Structure 1
Amino acid sequence: MNAVIQRTVTVGNAQIPTDPEGYLRNRQDWSEDFARALAREEGLALTPAHWEVIRFLRDYEQEHGVQAQVRVMIRHFSQAWDPERGSNHALHEMFPAGGPQKQGNRLAGLLRTKGEH
């Protein structure tokens, strides 16, 4: 039997369980403080633009029942910001540890996307 590998992210006085990559074990454990703590661990300083992406990911998943694909993010942020800032390249620069779909989803408290290993 394989043991479930788990780590935790410290948020205030609480230890929030995640999988080895930082995806939440329990989605209800998400908070903005969790996102800040995980970002700090990943060496990422969250800017207002990061928060826009995180909120977009959470809202999109809640509204559509699926996670936003990168092309959906590009279309949205190219319109919301401008084509250069909303480009695939720019979004991946903002989220250097796996791009907006992996790192963004981790920070937004969403689950690992299908097909990830």
Structure 2
Amino acid sequence: MKNKFDTDSNGYIKNGKKWNKSFAYLIAEQDNILLTDEHWKIIMFIRNFFLKFNTSPTSRMLIKAISKNKKIDSMYLYKLFPNGIAKQAAKMAGIPKPTKCI
């Protein structure tokens, strides 16, 4: 899939307003991830949180928000986003790299 999005040197979209689901699919394909409903819950939570608060949620906030009826922990999130929940999910969500990520 050709990248039609303007990204920085780390692959984060430069203009989050131009984000759409195609961008998330592009990043997932590059990372060999097949996006499921579980991925989308996390991607959309992170994106909506950022749009509302102009910052990324902490892993603890994320776990609490999505674990409604099932036990979810950081290991579960790393199975979905093996390159790091904060960086990889943020990239797919079309938001800037979290400031606490190296």
The letter of the residue matching 2:70 is D
- Once residues 54 and 96 of structure 1 are traced to their aligned partners in structure 2, the CA distance between those partners, rounded to angstroms, is 14
Q: Which runs of no fewer than 5 residues in structure 1 stay unpaired?
A: 1-8
**Residue equivalent to 1:111:** 96
How many residues matched? 102
- Counterpart among 72, 81, 89 of residue 95 in structure 1: 81
TM-score (norm 2): 0.89
- Once residues 56 and 74 of structure 1 are traced to their aligned partners in structure 2, the CA distance between those partners, rounded to angstroms, is 11
Shift of 1:22: 1.5
Q: Which runs of no fewer than 5 residues in structure 2 stay unpaired?
A: none
Task: Provide the aligned C-alpha RMSD in A.
Answer: 1.6
The ranges of structure 1 where at least 4 consecutive aligned residues each deviate by more than 2 angstroms after the TM superposition are: none
- Counterpart among 2, 7, 24 of residue 10 in structure 1: 2
**Residue pairs, 1:20-59, within 5 angstroms:** 20-59=9-48
The letter of the residue matching 1:10 is K
Shift of 1:71: 0.8
- Once residues 19 and 107 of structure 1 are traced to their aligned partners in structure 2, the CA distance between those partners, rounded to angstroms, is 13
3-state SS of 1:76 partner: helix
- Counterpart among 67, 72, 91 of residue 56 in structure 2: 67
Structure showing the higher strand proportion among its residues: 1
Bigger Rg, structure 1 or 2 = 1
Shift of 1:115: 3.0
- Once residues 54 and 100 of structure 2 are traced to their aligned partners in structure 1, the CA distance between those partners, rounded to angstroms, is 17
- Once residues 18 and 52 of structure 1 are traced to their aligned partners in structure 2, the CA distance between those partners, rounded to angstroms, is 23
Deviations 1:40-80 (A, max 9, x none): 0111100011011111111111222221111101111222x
Shift of 1:29: 2.2
